[in-house]
Structure 1
């Protein structure tokens, strides 16, 4: 389904190619591509034989390897993909509180998460980490539960939760793991998570938290950048329907947050792919051109009974345009899929998605399968390193495409051919044009010029 990325060899001079790349029309800088190391992913990877684990992580993250992933997202506490019961780093019996965080402990993460991340960091020292909480500790919430509810609207709650998040970043730094980006709440408009941690965090409350968090990070000497929102391109009608009476559904949550006083502490906005489309990124960019945009989550999935081949084809077909090409054409500086690794049953998971797929599948027998997300990310991560710039590309409406200029001046064009036929096409920048034939239903990466990859 996905064609191999290739360096173009047949080059002609001059003329008007079918897909024209304007190498001088530079847009956003690219940070990288990657996936989430959830606690489920970490456990599966940690349980592998050391040599097998090292080989897989080298394959995925080595800067000169076949994939070259350079970004990771991790949960702060449990998400829906955890092999254990839900947890935070300061859980207490009902009715107890810990305003001074005397019981704060990241011990749960020392079992698998931190060792796996340390191994990845040793392979790829420049890997960037995004951290996202699913829930504050239950004693900091209105309903006393990790599922649903809001952060208490009290000054001491904002101060304590800000200190909790900073403490997490500091503890990770002591383990040799720098957190580059922090989102303050995963999916803040999902008020009723299905059996897993989650928190309703309206715009005004996110702003209050960030007003504490931003100065706190600065005073602690931490360079972690705050990202707002961390939810879908558009408000899902199901989430809008749960808006409390007399409250604003916040259809423009990302922009509304960037209009608050907290904006001075916000580096950019994180998006998920599960509703709407990436055009919303450009709309936000027009209003706030100085803020960066990242796509931090998108999972492939199937229907019970689907064959592995069907899940692969359907996932790649949808993600090629909707997760990779369109978000990058709409100013995304990074694209991350969801779980890096899951088992053959789409787990371990606690509630939530029952048919999600990982970049790789690690079966209970130890067999490793590479999924559509692997193919998708490889087409970008291997050829578009950190520091590349997106440049404009035009032409051939039947094909979806996005172009880049890497730090060595190499031009990289990613093209999706959704048609059922092979598609001969000439691509180029007007001076150097390349004749290629794109296989039917394929994702292709073409590069020319500059130095060698």
Structure 2
């Protein structure tokens, strides 16, 4: 009988050991070529090879930081037109790849209020001059390409969080009477009480009109790149004027209209000035729901968080590059996302999810996108950036919590409510390399493929995923 108990105990110990060895799963995307389904599960191969300097990963799962809101990209009019050039089956295929929870699973996306630089041309929802009551307000233009694009995405992921921002107020609300900049008269918002009131009503009408179409706008940012004066839709808006517009006009109007859409400052960048830092130093800055930002260095974000630790800050636009959609550009995507999320932001938002075959804006310059659709040939091209964003969206989800971790490689580490720690890391070496993971009292040495992005999923409960 003693021998029987001994053997049963031995078998149980072996099974427990085997289960402990199975508490890590690895997934990988190559960045060499865009693929519709780039994510592959790869073997967890332990190694006794020497671990070189810079190849260690240390995770502290009990040290928690900000709650994640999601990963996604931007809807735009040019992308909607390209998508709708496909038949319904192909449209559905593209959108499932982007929004289905078992695929890229995007959860946090952006849209323009009126024309962005990737609108087909400049337009607003108030084209009648001096229409202070918004009697002629209309989103009819968006019903052709933008709203069908949004609605089709929401049909796949009804929980998709969407935020909007204008590139310019309606032309008549500006001193140059033009939505675009580089004009003889100043490309600025008219500093008049009646115009502030009209613009606040414009935002409210937008939120209500979209909601009547089944598209909930979670938050707005007051002005995209408020320091920009460009040939495409833009408006230079000093931080003090932005705060005045948001605090004294938009927020009270939303409350009066019983709208629960949040009002955020931005989208700020640091191309020319430190407008975000200036804004955060102003009285009543903390009355705004948060800050949206893009093209901002880690040091500036750290300063901003130090100034206003209780204000939510989120990411609004990733590096758009030049339309080359190269492997080299995609190799920097995780690094960029990590810079923002590891600095305390709640999300990462890519710019153009879809563009047409030209990769051009309505103002004739090229930018990158996850997908290019040829409107004549009816073909779909997935770019290397798509692979990078696919693995980010698939593993980083709303309500995940960023946890403390360190590595000399680009990396984001989050913990999900079900107890899984998800480490997204990029082995920047030219060859597969051994790495050492230290987590939860364990030390595990294993190999990570070269160049692409690997997701290490560690189950804190030591159960097979």
* TM-score, structure 1 as length reference: 0.86
- Partner SS for 2:169: coil
Structure-1 residue corresponding to 2:285: 263
Unaligned runs of 5+ in 1: 241-250
Structure-1 residue corresponding to 2:27: none
Residue 334 of structure 2 corresponds to residue 320 of structure 1: yes
Alignment partners' CA distance in 1, 2:153 and 2:172:
34
Residue 135 of structure 2 corresponds to residue 115 of structure 1: no
Shift of 1:4: 4.5
Which of 358, 362, 369 is the equivalent residue of 2:369?
358
Structure-2 residue corresponding to 1:71: 108
Alignment partners' CA distance in 1, 2:268 and 2:43:
38
Shift of 1:265: 3.6
CA deviations over 1:332-373 (Å, ceiling 9, x no partner):
1111111110112103x2226x22111111113121111233
Cα pair distance change 1:407/1:256, threshold 3 Å: same
- Partner SS for 2:60: strand
- Partner SS for 1:392: strand
- Partner SS for 1:99: coil
- Partner SS for 2:334: helix
Alignment partners' CA distance in 2, 1:222 and 1:261:
25
CA contact (8 A) 1:181 1:226 kept: yes
Residue 394 of structure 2 corresponds to residue 388 of structure 1: no
CA RMSD of aligned residues (A): 2.2
Cα pair distance change 1:318/1:77, threshold 3 Å: same
CA deviations over 1:176-212 (Å, ceiling 9, x no partner):
1110110000110012x13x11000101110111021
Residue 83 of structure 2 corresponds to residue 50 of structure 1: no
Which of 67, 73, 76 is the equivalent residue of 1:29?
67
Which of 41, 57, 78 is the equivalent residue of 1:40?
78
- Partner SS for 1:109: helix
Shift of 1:9: 4.5
Structure-1 residue corresponding to 2:425: 415
Structure-2 residue corresponding to 1:330: 343
Which of 297, 304, 312 is the equivalent residue of 1:284?
304
Shift of 1:5: 6.1
Cα pair distance change 1:44/1:452, threshold 3 Å: farther
Alignment partners' CA distance in 1, 2:362 and 2:406:
44
CA contact (8 A) 1:299 1:356 kept: no
Structure-2 residue corresponding to 1:230: 267
Structure-2 residue corresponding to 1:369: 381
Alignment partners' CA distance in 2, 1:263 and 1:428:
41
CA contact (8 A) 2:268 2:276 kept: no
Q: Which sits farther off after the overlay, 359-368 or 421-430?
A: 421-430
CA deviations over 1:214-234 (Å, ceiling 9, x no partner):
1211222212112212132x2
Shift of 1:417: 2.1
Alignment partners' CA distance in 2, 1:10 and 1:421:
15
Residue 345 of structure 2 corresponds to residue 345 of structure 1: no
Shift of 1:26: 0.6
- Partner SS for 1:301: coil
CA deviations over 1:7-41 (Å, ceiling 9, x no partner):
874689xxx99211100111111100111001111
Alignment partners' CA distance in 2, 1:419 and 1:142:
53
Counterparts of 1:428-439 in structure 2, within 5 Å, are: 428-439=438-449
